[in-house]
Amino acid sequence: MDYVTVRELREKSGEIWQRVEDGEEFVVTRNGKPIALLVHTAPAEVEARLRALRLGRLGSLVATIQTDAQASGASTLTEEQIQAEINAARRERRGGQAPAPAMAAEPPAKPYARRR
């Protein structure tokens, strides 16, 4: 995989696009930082490639969350401790108020006709 700057892409776009069509892959950089990937794809493969890219990104995100959970000790919480954390966050979001009481069930309908 080769690197190409945004400026090079602008100045040599025809050459770079031809190389992409020939199967080469590029990392596009701006100020030395990667910002995009250029890879060839056939119209029929677009959805499958996007799905694979998104799955890879999801896997990376899950791994990061798991690492953070292990580092903070959150990975050892019990279900009761997790529920207590959720309840505390909900209370905080409501401004420290107690949970709203459950709605009372409506009284059963009366079996006789309406009043006049």
CATH topology of domain 1-40: YefM-like fold (3.40.1620)
Residue 19: count other Cβ atoms within 10 Å of its Cβ. Answer: 17
Question: Could you report the per-residue pLDDT of 58-86, keeping only the tens digit for each?
Answer: 999 999 999 999 999 888 999 999 999 99
Mean pLDDT of 106-116: 57
Instruction: Give 36's strand partners.
Output: 28
Q: What is the pTM of this model?
A: 0.54
Q: Are 4 and 14 in contact (CB under 8 A)?
A: no
Long-range contacts of 64-71 (CB under 8 A, 24+ apart): none
Residue 16: count other Cβ atoms within 10 Å of its Cβ. Answer: 19
Return the SS3 of 38. strand
Check residue 1 and give its pLDDT. 83
The closest alpha carbon to 53, from 23, 19, 25, belongs to 25
Question: Could you report the per-residue pLDDT of 36-59, keeping only the tens digit for each?
Answer: 999 999 999 999 999 999 999 999
Q: Please tell me the distance from the alpha carbon of residue 37 to that of residue 26, in angstroms, as a whole number.
A: 6
Strands 26-30 and 33-38: antiparallel
Sign of CA dihedral 80, 85, 91, 94: negative
Per-domain boundaries in the chain: 1-40, 44-94
